[in-house]
Amino acid sequence: GREDKRPPVIWLHFQECTGCSEALLRANHPSIAEVVLDIINLEYQETLMAGSGDQAEASLHNAIEKHAGKYILVVEGSIPTDDMAVCCQIGGKTAVDSFKAAAAKAAVVVSLGACACSGGIVAIEPNPTKAKGVIDILAGDMQWSDDDLKNKYISLPGCPPNPHNILSVILYVATFNKLPEKGLKIPSIANLSMKDERAHRPTFAYGRLIHEHCERRPHFDAGRFVREFGDEGHKNGWCLYHMGCKGPETYANCSIIHFNDGAAWPIGNGCPCIGCTEGTVLFKDSLFSLA
């Protein structure tokens, strides 16, 4: 038969809400149907696949063997560890064991979303399941070297992350057979350790602050601020800085590419940015200040 040139993708779900997958399902250029049918060879994805139980387990095992050394492994969700590893099990295997088996033979490992990148909401103190992000397992248990991490790991934080960024990364890897340029190019954190998740974010998506590209920025510059939800400034789309907006310290491109096929994004909808791409610390701070 004809050789299938589409890049094989294996997508694992661990401790998560499936919001990352849901965001992807709402992308429309290209649509998820085109992506799954024409562009990638999606071998395993629990939200989208028809199979279940033993059949699904077998297809995961077969995909890992058949495409060993060639597949893109996408991970959604955090991984519980130590004595809490039992908190997430699929087909009788712990998340950490399933992850290690799949990561060992992957060409590239992508952590998709705050949960997979740094533990996200799941890892907020007191982190009852001892949840970790993917890079902690790669650099820890699996002892990936700095070079392994540099060449084979990429991080796409956000809650959810923008679907166009994962599509871009998959298509880039399929086309050029390497990862896109990574790193934040921010002087204060330019020399991050390779074991720091932030060193592995693609520059095209996380290279700049939201505040630099925000449609409300002219209001910030002119001193026009929302002071209360529903006030005149809020109705007029003024700057959300005094409502706790984290745009000035959050690196992401949602201000430019938006979600839901370009229709919306948090600040555009009148909600301050909660720094969902910035790891557990800023994110926790925002969640509690909004609550």
Site of interaction with ligand F3S (CB under 6 A): 158, 210, 250, 252, 254, 265-267, 273-274, 276-277
What is the Cα–Cα distance from 140 to 145, expressed in whole angstroms?
Answer: 10
Per-residue mark of binding to ligand SF4, 218-257 (x: CB under 6 A)? --x------------------xxx---x-xx---------
Instruction: Report, in Å, the least distance between residue 124 CB and ligand F3S.
Output: 16
Instruction: Report, in Å, the least distance between residue 112 CB and ligand SF4.
Output: 7
Instruction: Report, in Å, the least distance between residue 1 CB and ligand SF4.
Output: 36
Q: Which amino acid is at 159?
A: C
Please work out the total of residues on this chain that contact ligand SF4, with binding judged by CB under 6 A: 27
Among residues 75 and 96, whose Cβ is nearest to ligand SF4?
75
Count of other CB atoms within 10 angstroms of residue 201 = 24
Among residues 1 and 126, whose Cβ is nearest to ligand SF4?
126
Near ligand SF4 by CB under 6 A: residue from 132, 200, 208, 216:
216
Q: Which two tokens stand for residue 65?
A: 């063997």
Asked if residue 204 binds ligand SF4 (CB under 6 A), the reply is no
CA 175 from chain center: how many Å?
A: 21
Residues 188/280/45/106 CA torsion (nearest 10 deg) = 40
Question: Is the bond preceding residue 8 a cis peptide, omega within 30 degrees?
Answer: no
What is the Cα–Cα distance from 50 to 46, expressed in whole angstroms?
Answer: 8
Instruction: Report, in Å, the least distance between residue 11 CB and ligand SF4.
Output: 12
Whether the Cβ atoms of residue 236 and residue 216 lie closer than 8 Å to each other: no
Q: Which two tokens stand for residue 251?
A: 């690196």
CA atoms within 13 A on the CB side of 53: 1
Binding site for ligand SF4 (CB under 6 A): 16-17, 19-20, 76-77, 113-115, 120-121, 159-160, 210-211, 214, 216-217, 220, 239-241, 245, 247-248, 267, 273
